[in-house]
Each structure stands twice: as C-alpha cells, then as structure tokens.
C-alpha cells in the first residue's frame, strides 16, 4: 500500500463526502457539531452558535485557528485533529468544500472571505459575546 498526498484537499473532500459524513450526506448540523467538538478539543469553553437568514455563525473566546499558518491556507488542507480522536481532522476544509460562502474574523474584527462573500450586515453586527474567533457560513 502506498501513501498518496492530495495536493487539493478541497477537491478530494468534494469527491469523497462519504469519508467525512454518514451516508455521504452533507448537513449543516454535522458541520456545526464537528466545529463545536473541534473548538472544545482545542481548549474553548464558551461557544456561541447563531443562525440568521441561512447564515450559521460560530464564535468562541478561543481562537482555534492555527497561528503559524495563514487562514486562507489552513482551510484548504486536511489537518489532523488528534485532540478529537484517532482519525479526526479539522472541519474548516469541509466547510470550504461544501459552503456557498464561508468567512472568518479574528480578534481584530476584520472579516476575511474564504469562499463566496462575507456575511451581510445583519449577520456581521449580531450581538455576540466577545470572541477571539468567529466564523460564518451558509450552504
């Protein structure tokens, strides 16, 4: 058996949804559950989840993104998450693969569109608890 390194993880995820989702069915509920698990596994204790106009917004006092890798690069890679289990991977690449739009902002409050558009104003100005990381996406 040989090991193959996928140069384009987003395409791999899109072509193999059954590897990441039961019966290969992508669901917002599974994405939110995996993201919540990821945040908690990486030390987060406060996680806020809000849905507004088909946009799902997740924020935490914990910045769960990797500080040594740019946001744009890390969301396009399959990155192991051993804190959540033997074969666990970070969820952001799954969101990039299947979302119509996915954005994030760090503690500075500046939104970065990772795929599609940034959230509309009514989502951007939600009254969320103070956070070090927020993501917003819609399928």
Total domains, the chain: 1
Say if residue 6's pLDDT is above 70.
no
Residue 1 forms part of a structural domain: no
The residue ranking higher by pLDDT, 38 or 85, is 38
Residue 2 forms part of a structural domain: no
CA 8, 94, 15, 21: dihedral to nearest 10 degrees? Answer: 150
The position carrying tokens 């990039």 is: 96
Which tokens hold the place of 131? 């956070």
What percent of the chain has a predicted confidence (pLDDT) above 90?
Answer: 65
Q: DSSP per residue over 6-56, as a string?
A: -S-HHHHHHH-HHHHSGGG---HHHHHHHHHHHHHHTT---EEEEEETTEE
Mean pLDDT over each residue of the chain, to the nearest integer: 89
pLDDT category of residue 127 using cuts at 50, 70 and 90: low
Domain that residue 34 falls in: 9-138
Mean pLDDT value of segment 127-138: 84
Mean pLDDT value of segment 99-127: 87
Residue 23 forms part of a structural domain: yes
pLDDT tens digits along 20-48: 998 889 999 999 999 999 999 999 999 99
Q: Which of 4-8, 123-127, 132-136 has the highest mean pLDDT?
A: 132-136
Residue 31 forms part of a structural domain: yes
Residue 21 forms part of a structural domain: yes
Residue 95 forms part of a structural domain: yes
Q: Determine the pLDDT at residue 5.
A: 46
Burial of 139 (0-12, 13-18, 19+ CB in 10 A): middle
């Amino acid at each position: 058996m040989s090991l193959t390194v996928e140069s384009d993880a987003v395409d791999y995820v899109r072509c193999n949804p059954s590897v990441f989702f039961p019966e290969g069915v992508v669901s917002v509920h599974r994405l939110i559950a995996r993201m919540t698990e990821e945040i908690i596994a990486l030390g987060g204790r406060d996680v806020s989840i809000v849905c507004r106009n088909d946009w799902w917004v997740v924020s935490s006092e914990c910045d769960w993104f990797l500080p040594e890798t740019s946001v744009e690069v890390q969301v396009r890679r399959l990155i192991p998450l051993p804190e959540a289990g033997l074969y666990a991977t970070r969820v952001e690449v799954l969101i990039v693969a299947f979302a119509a739009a996915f954005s994030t902002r760090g503690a500075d409050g500046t939104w970065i569109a990772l795929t599609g558009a940034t959230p509309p104003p009514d989502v951007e100005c939600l009254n969320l608890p103070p956070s070090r990381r927020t993501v917003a996406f819609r399928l």
